[in-house]
Amino acid sequence: MTSLPRKELGDPTPEAPDVPLRRVPDFRWFWLSRVISGLGSAVTTVALPVLTFQKTGSPLMVSLVAASATLPYVVFGLIAGTVADRTDRRRLMIVTDWLSAACIASVPAASALGILTGGQVLVVAFASAALGLFFDAGVYGFVPDIVGKDKLTEANSAVYGAQTVVHIAGNAVAGGLIVLFRPAGTLALDALSFAASALLLKAVTHTSASDNSAGRRPGFRESVREGLRFLRHHSTLRLMTVVGTLQSFSGGAVIGQLVVFADRVLGIHGSDGRIGLLYMAWSAGGIGGSFLLPRLRRRFEAFPLLLGVLPAGALLGLAVVLSSDWRVTLVALAVWGSAYLVVLVNTMTYSQEVTPPELQGRVNTTRRMLSSGLGVPLGALVAGTLTVRVGVQAGMSTAVVSIALAALLVWGVQMHRRMRAAA
């Protein structure tokens, strides 16, 4: 059984030589694999709903395909983390990449044969998301292995920043690719990107640090309980998990209602190109956050950093909700997107820093299960319900309230700790 941490807020001991990440070959291969795979997935994000609607004509089916992106976190979250901690993580990532390539490739193959159905598209959407979850479960322990815990902030920021860039680029070119190759044919590019990612990961030489010692390894159920036990007893990590979930709730609310907000408040209707600018501003803000976070973490520890960023995010969200000028909204969304990414990546990095290597998959997929699996869809659902019953500004305000609650929670804990220290 894994012992519980004695120290919760201290900086981790450096585990890697003090060299730039660009000179770490294993990280370069990993980073490149994420960029290429992320570009393919960004194209599929646009092509798959279009294909679903073309095949079925059903808005409900389109919604189900969208929901399939987060549902696997609820269904398989604990299982994926345990599998990642009981196998070689690099091998797990390579296998899931190849399976994802085959899964996505089945769509253009079936289309070419004239046998593609809406049901198959839905199954592929769910299966590819589930495989992505198992891949991510391996990543949580894999990145600390290849860069050391002292460079986790820089590494995570580099990966998330690059993925945000390719997400914007992929979304931008997806429309043209759909016209050129048709929606089903466009998915073949994503399949190729998964295959390329698998080949790049083969070039990584680092051996996984997951626990493969069968002689002392607990049973599967006990392995699941170990991860849950660690998260439950680590007070700071438990608090930051709640913060991450509230932050994801706000993201679900914003993205879910942005089109309605643009139409009813900003006067941006239908095919007006400014709606694309609003989405791009939110994503571009994430790029800024990826550059900002390493600098902030050099000055502040993970928990104190939240004391400033969360209130700033709440104020920026309020500026968006109260704005009726699309240009003000554009700027506020971009800066809010930066604060949003800083909180999420800071929380994830802290979790990787304090979690023992043999528990990385279990602890971090549990966190992700709560944030992506519950926070995002719940935020979209609550915001949508309020928009229908009260108005879109009320719906968007749920994002602000969620972040404000997270800020109050962090400040309350900080004040309690100071009072205890002064007593």
DSSP 167-214: HHHHHHHHHHHHHHHHHHHHHHHHHHHHHHHHHHHHT--PPP-S---T
If we measure between CA atoms, which residue out of 283, 278, 257 comes closest to residue 340?
A: 283
| Reported confidence tier of residue 111, pLDDT bands at 50, 70, 90 | very high
What pTM did the predictor assign?
0.79
Place 63 in a pLDDT band, splitting at 50, 70 and 90. Answer: low
* CB-side neighbour CA atoms (13 Å) of 204: 28
pLDDT at residue 10 greater than cutoff 80 = no
Per-chain mean pLDDT for the chain: 86
pLDDT of residue 169: 86
Please state the domain extents for the chain.
Answer: 21-208, 226-422
pLDDT bracket for residue 271 (50, 70, 90): low
Sign of CA dihedral 180, 100, 371, 59: positive
Looking at residue 369, its pLDDT comes to 85
Superfamily holding 21-208: MFS general substrate transporter like domains (1.20.1250.20)
Question: Hey, what CATH topology would domain 226-422 get?
Answer: Growth Hormone; Chain: A; (1.20.1250)
Cβ atoms of 27 and 147 closer than 8 Å: yes
Rounded CA-CA distance 308/221 in Å is 39
Query: If we measure between CA atoms, which residue out of 165, 135, 162, 173 comes closest to residue 43?
Result: 173
Quick one: average pLDDT of 11-32?
72
Compare 70 and 37 and report the one with higher pLDDT: 37
Q: What is the mean pLDDT of residues 57-62?
A: 75
**At residue 6, does pLDDT exceed 50?**
no
Q: What is the pLDDT of residue 28?
A: 92
Mean per-residue pLDDT, 37-57: 86
pLDDT at 422 > cutoff 80: yes
